A and B are shown apart, each in its own frame.
Chain A
Amino acid sequence: GAGVSQTPSNKVTEKGKYVELRCDPISGHTALYWYRQSLGQGPEFLIYFQGTGAADDSGLPNDRFFAVRPEGSVSTLKIQRTERGDSAVYLCASSPGGLQKTQYFGPGTRLLVL
């Protein structure tokens, strides 16, 4: 079946602009995660959704970052007033729910802030 998809695959923006990154999880997966991977680093946790609600947003670096999942499926990560340090690959993962389930990752969105 179809895996996790993310759009756009690449995004170039200017410092100070607003961006939205989209994630389509695997159908039926109730849990959704966002991670950020900077150059030379492993993925770092940002936020976790169980259904429509953000169960844990402790990884969001500051209040410029926000994510929603209004219908419990597609999620959007929103970044306001982008900064050059936000440049990274943003990864989305989904899992069937439950604490012991495997997370399946999307291809990522590569964000470059000029």
Chain B
Amino acid sequence: AQRVTQPEKLLSVFKGAPVELKCNYSYSGSPELFWYVQYSRQRLQLLLRHISRESIKGFTADLNKGETSFHLKKPFAQEEDSAMYYCALRASGAGSYQLTFGKGTKLSVIP
């Protein structure tokens, strides 16, 4: 069975400081990893996925299979980045569609 761990429930940073939200996973195969974000009073939405290898809103995340990690990073935090962030994993192979989520990290950017 797969598992996603987000060790920090809450992360507070000052505006302009770098941000790193940690995500570790446990899965024996080749997973697909995602970051979802939920802004206040909004629905859960996809921020980025590792196969796209793109930067969204200044955020990047690199899949490190050796360390089984998919940490989310941004060099300069903005106030509008304050939100709940969830790391999620989808297993590989046929029949793989459900997402397994971590418990989430609440990011608070202090002005």
Contact = CB atoms under 8 A, between A and B. Distances in A.
Which secondary structure dominates where chain A touches chain B?
loop
Interface stretch (A12-20, A39-47, A73-81): A39-47
A103 B97 CA distance: 9
B43 A108 contact: yes
A103 B99 contact: yes
Interface in A26-56: 31, 33, 35, 40-45, 48, 55-56
Interface stretch (B58-66, B74-82, B100-108): B100-108
Interface residues of A, number: 25
Contact of A42 (B43, B86, B94): B86
Interface of A: 3-4, 31, 33, 35, 40-45, 48, 55-56, 59, 91, 99-100, 102-108
Interface of B: 4, 9, 32, 36, 43-46, 49, 51, 86, 88, 94-104
